[in-house]
Amino acid sequence: MKIRDLEALGEVRRQGLAKYKPARPRIAVGLGTCGIGLGAEEVYQTFVSAVEALGADVQIVRTGCFGFCAEEPLVNIAIPGKPLVIFSQVKPEEAEHILTDALAGTVDQARALCKIQSWDHLTGVVNFGEGFPGIPEWDEIDFYKGQKKIVLRNFGLIDPEDIEEYIAVGGYEALLKTLRNAEPERIVEELKKARLRGRGGAGFLVATKWESMRNAPGDRKYVICNADEGDPGAYMNRNQIESDPHSLIEGMVIGAYTMGASEGIVYVRAEYPLAVLRLKNAVAQAEAYGLLGEDILGSGFSFHLSLVEGAGAFVCGEETAMIASLEGRAGRPRTRPPYPSEKGLWGHPTSINNVETWYNVPVIVSKGGRWFAETGTERSPGTKVFSLVGKIKNTGLVEVPLGTPLRTFVYDIGGGTGDEKAVKALQTGGPSGGCVPEEMFDTPVDYEALAQLGSIMGSGGMVVMDEDNCMVDVARYFVEFTHSESCGKCVACRVGLDHCLRILNKISEGQGTEADRDALEHLGPMIRDTSLCGLGQSAPNPVLTTLRYFRHEFDEHIEKKRCSAFVCPELVCYYIDAERCKGCMACAKVCPSKAISGSRREVHNIDQERCSRCGSCCSVCSPAIAAVYRESGGITRRIEPRKKAKRAGHREKTP
């Protein structure tokens, strides 16, 4: 059934709304990769069988991720006329209870995480209902307070596998409007007003890129969506596609129309099988509804979208390498200019934009550029999605207005480390970014402010580090990553990073000298300034920022052969305190190098020659005994039990 006009779209919208807000209870299980990883599939299946067993009139759907990954599996329950209620950490055995409650028109208010009375999908508002005073509104709980869902407008609410639910919340209306008005230059104008900047890392103005594409000569043009997200710790783009694939398609069709492209490609990591599956399904549905393919919405405009799965090279996220990869060549970047918008895929003008950039497009078209620019800062308007991970209590996808200080992420939204350990630094921008020390957490997150600190915003990875992270090791880790992902084309990156890595290895092994540290400071700027592509140009950032803000840790490793975080294996020795050891054999049993002597009820001893410094003994020695301790450069530390903080979703039960 092809949609050709507003009326037909309206008809589908009504049908979709009947599914999204049905006259019977609806139970939606968050089945993004994050949810599935925490057992959501089983929860979903349990709900399905429970409904079957009861013969209940309840709708069970799969949805994407509502952002709070630490609290997955998230399940939301919509009872007609009542607010949508979100449950966190749902276990299969709770399914029946939740279901019978829902059938009785209620929920366990003490068990619920939050509720939504009315949701602004930005392309349409859905009022679920009022009630359940015992449950906080979603934006009243710490994790969501201060968040603003523009990109994530449909996430975890609609069924990503059903185009009608997307249409139900106003989806594809921006596209219809665009094709009806037939004024592509107006779209560029709106983008200019919005001052939307590319979300792939560099923050290039989208309007400028699109305008130069529009003006580029030639009738064959391509638009590409960059979904090759490869930064360690970043998974925004994956969840975006998994949770709301149609926003991407709509954004791309609008973009293609604006720029005069008739073909589009989504270059997505093959390591994201669920995203690939849901996007393929969405493309097929959009084609079936006449929203993609030939003669879209009866406008005469045709646009074909295909999917290409990347083979796992980080550097293929760089746009010229991506083009080479798409053309069947090895994924190695080339110098720009010429930019892809002048000379891209197969030599034709090509616009490459990040997944999240495309997600902003339909909203800007429907609500206007001015509206968009009201959020965020003057130079960086809008919101940005970050994946907040590492030593943080509330891990998840966080969308906040640009300009939000780092402190808000770590303490207000993230809830700190979740134990008594202090946060040491925040790593932004992945392997191209830097480590920002705690003292600088008042820095607002935008492209310029982070660059000033020597880091970058990048695509949105945020890794929190605490006192158990060694900053030398962090720098070493990221250089190891870029070193192994370097394409090898240019000397600066290929050989320069190899020397950096060798030096960092030396320092973390306690073999480093001051000259080594100085060599890093020499190599860094050279690699940054002379590398061919963004990979090499940004690869020194983790080294240079740690040297800048955590120099004392380098010096400690060099001068005192000490790793205060007890991370670098060569600098840490493990000992057993004879006074405390009860001779329980726990450590001796797990020791892979058989370095621990002493039999039952005998004090154990670690043979330092044999010890491989894996730390297994430390992790099995009961915290109540705490006989195993570590030593590094003259300081010692016992194992201390990590005190788990209370989970957000488990409030005290009211008796």
Ligand X SMILES: Cc1cc2nc3c(=O)[nH]c(=O)nc-3n(C[C@H](O)[C@H](O)[C@H](O)COP(=O)(O)O)c2cc1C
**Measured from the CB atom, is 403 or 433 closer to ligand X?**
433
Crossing angle (nearest 10°) for helices 355-367 and 184-194: 100
Question: 156 — alpha (psi -120 to 50), left (phi > 0) or beta?
Answer: left
Residue 522 within binding range of another protein, rule CB under 8 A: yes
Q: Does 307 bind another protein (CB under 8 A)?
A: no
| Phi and psi at residue 62, to the nearest 5° | -100, 135
Compute the least distance from the CB of residue 526 to another protein, in Å.
Answer: 5
The least CB distance from residue 430 to ligand X, in Å, is 9
Q: In sequence order, what DSSP letters do the residues of 32-101 get, joined into one string? A: SHHHHHTTHHHHHHHHHHHHHHHT---EEEEE---S-GGGPSPEEEE-TBS-EEEE-S--GGGHHHHHHH
Question: Of ligand X, another protein, none, which one sits near residue 164, judging by CB under 5 to 8 A according to partner kind?
Answer: none
Based on the shown chain and the rule CB under 8 A, indicate whether residue 452 belongs to the binding site for another protein.
no
Least distance CB 226 / ligand X (angstroms) = 3
Alpha carbons 450 and 29: distance in angstroms, whole number: 37
Nearest to ligand X of 35, 458 (CB atom): 458
Q: How far is 74 from 85, CA to CA, in rounded Å?
A: 10
Binding residue (CB under 8 A) for another protein from 298, 338, 623, 641: 338
- For residue 626, the partner it binds in ligand X, another protein, none, with Cβ less than 5 to 8 A by kind, is none
Region near another protein per CB under 8 A, out of 62-70, 101-109, 456-464, 488-496: 488-496
Is 112 among the residues that bind another protein (CB under 8 A)?
A: no
Which residues sit opposite 225 in a β-bridge? 266, 353
Among ligand X, another protein, none, partner that 199 touches (CB below 5 to 8 angstroms by kind)? ligand X
- Is 462 in contact with 428 (CB distance < 8 Å)? yes
CA distances from 79 to 48, 319, 351, 475 (A): 17, 46, 44, 50
Report d(CA 621, CA 604) in Å as an integer.
12
Instruction: Please name every residue paired with 50 in a beta bridge, in sequence order, or none if there are none.
Output: none
Burial class (CB in 10 A: 0-12, 13-18, 19+), 117: middle
Smallest gap from Cβ 554 to ligand X, in A, equals: 26
Shortest distance, position 502 Cβ to another protein, whole Å:
7
330 near another protein, rule: CB under 8 A: yes
* Kind of pairing between the strands at 434-437 and 118-120: unpaired
Q: Which does 499 bind (CB under 5 to 8 A by kind): another protein, ligand X, none?
A: another protein
From ligand X, another protein, none, which one binds at residue 590 (CB under 5 to 8 Å depending on kind)?
none
The interface partner of residue 490, options being ligand X, another protein, none and the CB cut-off 5 to 8 Å by kind, is another protein
In 89-114, which positions are buried (b, 16+ CB within 10 angstroms) versus exposed (e)?
bbebebbbebbebbbeeebebebbbb
Q: Residue 30's closest CA among 106, 84, 101, 107?
A: 84
Footprint on this chain of ligand X (rule: CB under 6 A): 198-202, 204, 226, 228-230, 314-315, 317-319, 352-354, 357, 459, 533-535
Angle between helices 471-485 and 541-549 (to 10 degrees): 170
Q: Among 463, 480, 482, which residue's Cα sits nearest to residue 539? A: 482
Residue 487 C-beta: closest distance to another protein, Å: 5
Element (H, E) at 383: strand 383-390
Whole-number Å distance between alpha carbons of 415 and 444 = 18
Taking the least distance from each CB to ligand X, the nearer of 487 and 628 is: 487
Choose the contact partner of 427 out of ligand X, another protein, none; CB within 5 to 8 A by kind: none
Among 2, 4, 494, 560, binds another protein (CB under 8 A): 494
Counting every residue, how long is the chain? 655
Using the rule CB under 8 A, give the single segment among 196-204, 435-443, 528-536, 638-646 that binds another protein: 528-536
- Do the bridges between strand 59-63 and strand 26-30 make them parallel or antiparallel, or are there none, so unpaired? parallel
Shorter beta-carbon distance to ligand X: residue 107 or 224: 224
Closest to another protein by CB, 273 vs 347, is 347
Nearer to ligand X, 353 or 395 (CB): 353
Residue from 205, 519, 573, 625 in contact with another protein (CB under 8 A): 519
Does residue 526 belong to the site contacting another protein (CB under 8 A)? Answer: yes
**Cβ distance to another protein smaller for residue 69 or 493:** 493
Q: Least distance to ligand X from the beta carbon of 527, Å?
A: 13
Report the distance separating Cα 64 and Cα 401, nearest Å: 22
CB of 450 to another protein, least distance (A): 17
Contacting residues toward another protein, per CB under 8 A: 313, 315, 330, 334-335, 337-338, 483-492, 494-499, 502, 519, 522-523, 526, 528-532, 537
